[in-house]
Amino acid sequence: MFFSLLYLCTLFAIVIFTIMIIMNILNDRSIQKWLSWLTGVVFFYLFSVWISTLF
């Protein structure tokens, strides 16, 4: 139950940060901040999947 909720929240964050990156590209703004957050969330997702396979 915990990991499925964690996956859901992480996937939601990935979608939100992707939308923010697309909006900033369309408005000719810097995407560095949103891209770093998206990278962090994706690495956290991969780490949590790896941890869940151990248990």
Residue written as token pair 């957050």: 37
Radius of gyration of the chain (CA): 13
Distances (CA, A) of 11 to 17, 22, 27, 36: 10, 17, 25, 16
Q: What is the pLDDT of residue 4?
A: 82
pLDDT over 70 (residue 1)? no
Q: What is the pLDDT of residue 45?
A: 87
> What are the pLDDT digits (tens) for 6-52?
888 888 999 999 999 999 999 999 999 889 999 999 999 899 889 88
